[in-house]
């Protein structure tokens, strides 16, 4: 029996809220099938559908900036709207954070099950963030330490925590495990 980590997100199948005045569907490139299946349950005048690829995101220093189309869509939604998000886990939580910043409540943002088991990992030693991690341990791209990828999840970073796995004996290197 494994230990349940309370901070690790659990995802439920997305159910459409028919009482919402508008629904915004935000999908990462490659998730159109899952999103189309869910969004088809609503009439065209009650929804907006947007797809984004990684090239749509701008950066300012180390900060990721959302596409203007997403900001415009969120700004035009009535407050009784729902936002449905489809994509990788990192994408889900990026959109969740942008929605909170735009004034939506967490309950208004529905996150579909992630497209893969790949994780974003936050190094607790140098604060580097690594994308698309599928196994543990990993070498941190920032400080080079060997990190154990924990199930502890930071919603603020949209990332799992990486801790130095062999601090007492750096020569001890555990076998890799899939996440």
Q: Which of 111, 135, 150 is the last residue of a domain?
A: 111
pLDDT of residue 1: 46
Residue 132 has pLDDT above 50, yes or no: yes
Residue 125 has pLDDT above 90, yes or no: yes
Residue 178 has pLDDT above 70, yes or no: yes
Q: Determine, yes or no, domain membership for 140.
A: yes
Burial (CB count <10 Å: 0-12, 13-18, 19+), residue 39: buried
Q: Determine, yes or no, domain membership for 34.
A: yes
What sign does the CA torsion over 102, 106, 112, 113 have?
A: positive
| pTM, rounded to two decimals | 0.84
Alpha-carbon gap, residue 163 to 152, rounded angstroms:
11
CA neighbor of 77 nearest in space, from 28, 24, 14: 24
Give the residue, 35 or 128, on which the prediction is more confident.
128
> How far lies 175's CA from each of 62, 136, 144, 146, 148, in Å?
32, 8, 17, 12, 11
Q: Determine, yes or no, domain membership for 1.
A: no
Task: Verify that 86 and 160 share a domain, yes or no.
Answer: no
Q: Domain range spanning residue 65?
A: 23-111
Q: Determine, yes or no, domain membership for 10.
A: no
Q: Determine, yes or no, domain membership for 16.
A: no
- Per-residue pLDDT band at 110 (split at 50, 70, 90): very high
Task: Verify that 31 and 107 share a domain, yes or no.
Answer: yes
Q: Which residues of 53-64 are buried (b: 16+ CB within 10 A; e: fewer)?
A: eeeeeeeeeeee
pLDDT of residue 100: 92
Q: Which of 94, 111, 128 is the last residue of a domain?
A: 111
Task: Verify that 44 and 92 share a domain, yes or no.
Answer: yes
Task: Verify that 31 and 55 share a domain, yes or no.
Answer: yes
Q: Please, what is the average pLDDT of the chain?
A: 86
Residue 58 has pLDDT above 70, yes or no: no
Q: Determine, yes or no, domain membership for 4.
A: no
Specify whether the CB–CB gap between 81 and 20 falls below 8 A: yes
Burial (CB count <10 Å: 0-12, 13-18, 19+), residue 129: middle
Task: Verify that 129 and 168 share a domain, yes or no.
Answer: yes
- Per-residue pLDDT band at 145 (split at 50, 70, 90): very high
- Looking at residue 42, the DSSP 8-state letter turns out to be S
Helical packing angle, 89-101 and 68-76, nearest 10°: 50
Q: Determine, yes or no, domain membership for 174.
A: yes
Give the residue, 18 or 178, on which the prediction is more confident.
178
Specify whether the CB–CB gap between 96 and 84 falls below 8 A: no
Task: Verify that 106 and 128 share a domain, yes or no.
Answer: no
> How large is the average pLDDT for residues 78-86?
90
Q: Determine, yes or no, domain membership for 36.
A: yes
Task: Verify that 106 and 38 share a domain, yes or no.
Answer: yes
Number of domains composing the chain? 2
Task: Verify that 33 and 87 share a domain, yes or no.
Answer: yes
Tokens of 151: 């199930």
Q: What percent of the chain has pLDDT over 70?
A: 89
């Amino acid at each position: 029996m494994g230990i349940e980590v309370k901070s690790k997100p659990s995802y439920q199948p997305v159910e459409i809220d028919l009482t919402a005045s508008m629904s915004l569907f935000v999908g990462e490139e490659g998730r159109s099938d899952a999103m189309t299946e869910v969004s088809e349950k609503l009439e065209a005048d009650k929804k907006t559908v947007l797809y984004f690829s990684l090239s749509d995101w701008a950066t300012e220093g180390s900060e990721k900036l959302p596409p203007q189309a997403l900001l415009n869509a969120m700004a035009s939604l009535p407050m009784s709207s729902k936002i449905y998000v489809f994509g990788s886990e990192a994408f889900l939580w990026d959109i969740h954070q942008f929605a909170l910043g735009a004034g939506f409540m967490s309950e208004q943002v529905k996150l579909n099950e992630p497209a893969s088991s790949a994780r974003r990992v936050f190094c607790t030693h140098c604060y580097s963030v690594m994308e698309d991690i599928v196994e543990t341990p990993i070498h941190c791209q920032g400080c080079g330490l060997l990190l154990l990828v924990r199930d502890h999840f930071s919603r603020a970073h949209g990332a799992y925590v990486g801790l130095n796995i062999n601090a007492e004996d750096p020569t001890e290197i555990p076998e890799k495990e899939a996440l």
